[in-house]
Amino acid sequence: MGQTVIEKIIQNHTGEEVKPGQIVWMGLDIRSARDFGGPNVVKNYEREFGDAPLADKEKTFFTFDLCVPACSLKYADNQQVCREFAKKKGIKVFDVDSGIGSHVLVEESLAKAGSTVVGTDSHLNILGAVGCFGQGMGDVDITVAFKTGQTWFEVPETLKVVIKGHFDFPASAKDLTLYILKKLGTHKAALKAVEFYGETAQSLSLSGRITLCSMVTEMAGIIGFVPEFSDLSREEAAKLSGSKFSPLQADEDSAYSEELEIDISGIPPQVAAPYSPDNVQDVSDLKGTRIDTGFIGSCTNGRTEDLALAAQILKGRKIKEGVTLKVVPATKRVYEEILEKGILEDLFRGGAIISSPGCSGCAEGHIGLTGKGEVQISTGNRNFAGKQGKGETYLASPAVVAASCLAGQIISPEEL
Amino acid sequence: MEETALSGKTWVLLNQEGKLIEDIDTDQIYHNSFLHITEIQQMGQYALGNLEGWKDFPQKARPGDILITGRNFGAGSSRQQAVDCFISLKVGLILAPSFGAIYFRNAVNSGFPVLKCPELDELVAQRILETENEIKVDLRSGKGINVSKDRPFDVEPMSAVQYDIFKAGSLFMYGKKTSRDNGK
Ligand code: SF4
């Protein structure tokens, strides 16, 4: 019997033959903790293991991305706790200027195709975009991962999703993702690895893959892979991750728990209404909904390509008076790219506020929060009640967010 | 041979219709109003405190007792207290057809024995397994026996991993013994 991508990756890191349902010790290529969860890992480590060395300091990292630079004393303290531990143990810190940890791990060539990565970030499964098995875990698990270089894992079943048809502007990878989320809901992919196939999936750019794989979390899945790459997308992934790029492929006779087809031909832009990411509707159904703020960024839509799409719509225009638009590049490298390509200027002149790279929106004390009664349209991945403050959040693509900020209401870019 | 079996008296969590209660979530096991408690000794008194018909479980349970419950036990939040409250009462083992994923992870990491038994609904429906039975289960072979009725049954044995952590006491204890680096 053949094996799926996740089965191959786990097997390569255990040294025994694996099948779904089996619990195995899995070697970890990279273990990381961020400014959320990181201080707990330090506390646990010092209490349980004292001065004992880490399994391998070269494979252990801190990535600060939630409250960067710290805007509350608590976060400032917590980050310093991690820095001091890191210094003592000789581990590298990607500090408050670096950007979103999962993206940094890709850019730094640390999250490689076929490798295993764990950290205190529930969206670490975003690394499926480069064929890497990333997984978020609690601070107890990560503490022991720091100490032993391994963790245990129950090999998940795999769901196969074949995407049929193509999308065209103004639809984008985010609309494809929201549409798939609407079709799968939170049950079909629950506790499973997902493999996405089809011509459209194959030709997705790296940032499109990141958008799709990041929201497998909202589908309740373990991780998503897009195993096949068009020449162009393979080249791009290789360039970004700076190394020879050879993602694992599933065997033809591998066993899937289920195989589904989703037809996306001609989908219009999609918007998820409060308070659930799978509460997805066509943009036309929500047209005219008043918005106060827009947010473009997050691990789902914070890459250069995403910001370029928004800039293209804003270029030569101004957002509506009374509306604010917050833009947060995913990483320092993205910041540099939008600077060099003139994207930053178009965003700024269009009326956007551009902040330092990081997560934002998702953590208290950072930009992207809403007050009671405030309506926000965001490129993020979650819109649960209370998640980004007391207001209401709609989830959409960078193009729809930019267009809606120009109009002061939810609107499709083609109607501007 | 190392002793790998656990034995004890059973509590079968039945509903009004006499069926195993399914989908018992972490709020029914350990309500969120007691999340501030950090001492394990104090958690036992709240175990199953929000599950209709079983609120007096902490008074009834004796050390070593075995809890028998329906599928998807421990669905919901990631709270460790939903496992620790049973450790606090010195419950010996929980058997269910299946568990919530995070619940299972938390129990394994705490070194608390939880075992999957796919035929549990059958055993209970046919009254092969009832409350106050004395049962014995081998963690490694998966062979079980209801001593009170002299009837054998099967459970999914512990994986080597789960058994390693169980023997060590917890994931932390396991971590103290191990420092090998398997990453490639
Ligand atoms: S942007 Fe939000 S969801 Fe993404 S990694 Fe950061 S905190 Fe998590």
Domain check: are A70 and A126 in the same one? yes
Tokens of B98: 């299946």
The predicted-structure confidence for A80-135, as pLDDT tens digits, reads as follows: 999 999 999 999 999 999 999 999 999 999 999 999 999 999 899 999 999 999 99
The predicted-structure confidence for B9-58, as pLDDT tens digits, reads as follows: 999 999 989 999 999 999 899 998 888 888 899 999 999 999 999 999 99
Any atom of ligand 1 within 6 Å of the Cβ of A67: no
> Do A27 and B184 make contact, defined as CB atoms within 8 angstroms?
yes
Residues of B with Cβ-Cβ distance to A115 under 8 angstroms: 184
Per-residue CA distances from A132 to A129, A213, A279, B184 (Å): 7, 11, 29, 13
Q: What are the φ/ψ torsions at residue A318 (nearest 5 degrees)?
A: -130, 140
> Do B109 and A154 make contact, defined as CB atoms within 8 angstroms?
no
Domain check: are A42 and A176 in the same one? no
Contact A59, A110 (CB under 8 A): no
Domain check: are A393 and A322 in the same one? yes
Q: Which of A263, A279, A302 is the last residue of a domain?
A: A263
Any atom of ligand 1 within 6 Å of the Cβ of A121: yes
Chain B touched by A385 (CB under 8 Å)? no
The one-letter amino acid at B91:
V
Domain check: are A205 and A217 in the same one? yes
Q: How far apart are CA A304 and CA A312, in angstroms?
A: 12
Q: Per the structure, how many domains does chain A have?
A: 3
pLDDT at res. B183:
46
Three-state SS for A289?
coil
Q: How far apart are CA A287 and CA A284, in angstroms?
A: 5
Tokens of A368: 């992207």
Residues of B with Cβ-Cβ distance to A15 under 8 angstroms: 182
Residues of A with Cβ-Cβ distance to B184 under 8 angstroms: 12-13, 27, 29, 115
E strand or H helix at A393 = strand A392-395
The predicted-structure confidence for A222-265, as pLDDT tens digits, reads as follows: 999 999 999 988 888 888 766 678 899 999 999 999 999 999 99
Q: How far is B177 from chain A (nearest CA, A)?
A: 9
Domain check: are A365 and A408 in the same one? yes
For residue A140, give the nearest of B159, B162, B171 by CB distance. B171
Q: Tell me how far the alpha carbon of residue B4 is from its chain's centroid.
A: 16
Please name the residue of chain B whose CA is at the shortest distance from the CA of residue A30.
B183
pLDDT at res. B182:
46
Q: Which of A241, A263, A285 is the last residue of a domain?
A: A263
Cα torsion through A81, A87, A91, A95, rounded to 10: 60
Task: Please provide the average confidence, as pLDDT, over all residues in chain A.
Answer: 94
Any atom of ligand 1 within 6 Å of the Cβ of A366: no
Q: How far apart are CA B159 and CA A16, in angstroms?
A: 13
Domain check: are A131 and A169 in the same one? no
Range A55-76 burial, b when 16+ CB lie within 10 A, else e: bbeebbbbbbbbbbebeeeebe
Q: How far is B178 from chain A (nearest CA, A)?
A: 6
Q: Which of A236, A263, A290 is the last residue of a domain?
A: A263
> Do A150 and B108 make contact, defined as CB atoms within 8 angstroms?
no
Spatial CA neighbour of A44 closest among B176, B56, B51, B166: B176
Q: How far apart are CA A267 and CA A263, in angstroms?
A: 9
> How far, in Å, from the CA of B15 to the mean position of ligand 1?
41
For residue A29, give the nearest of B78, B175, B183 by CB distance. B183
Question: Which residues, in sequence order, are CB contacts of A233 under 8 Å at separation 6+?
Answer: A202, A203, A204, A205, A206, A209
pLDDT at res. B80:
86
Domains and CATH numbers, chain B: 5-181 (3.20.19.10)
Which range, of A171-175, A290-294, B73-77, averages the lowest pLDDT?
B73-77
Chain B touched by A9 (CB under 8 Å)? no
Three-class HEC string of A94-159:
ECCCCECHHHHHHHCCCCCCCCEEEECCCCHHHHHHHCCEEEECCHHHHHHHHHHCEEEEECCCEE
Q: Tell me the range of A16-20, A145-149, A388-392 where mean pLDDT is highest.
A: A145-149
The predicted-structure confidence for B151-183, as pLDDT tens digits, reads as follows: 999 999 999 999 999 999 999 999 998 765 544
Domain check: are A148 and A223 in the same one? no
The one-letter amino acid at A326:
K
Domain check: are A327 and A394 in the same one? yes
| pLDDT tier at A149, thresholds 50, 70, 90 | very high
Query: Does the model's pTM come out above 0.90?
Result: yes
Percentage with pLDDT > 70 across chain A? 99
Mean pLDDT within B108-129? 95
CATH number at residue A385: 3.30.499.10
> How far, in Å, from the CA of A66 to the mean position of ligand 1?
8
Tokens of B22: 């399914």
Contact A1, A32 (CB under 8 A): no
Domain check: are A84 and A208 in the same one? no
Domain check: are A164 and A149 in the same one? no
CATH number at residue A169: 3.40.1060.10
Domain check: are A62 and A119 in the same one? yes
The predicted-structure confidence for A336-381, as pLDDT tens digits, reads as follows: 999 999 999 999 999 999 999 999 877 666 777 899 999 999 999 9
Domain span at residue A76 reads 5-154
Spatial CA neighbour of A192 closest among A21, A25, A27, A30: A21
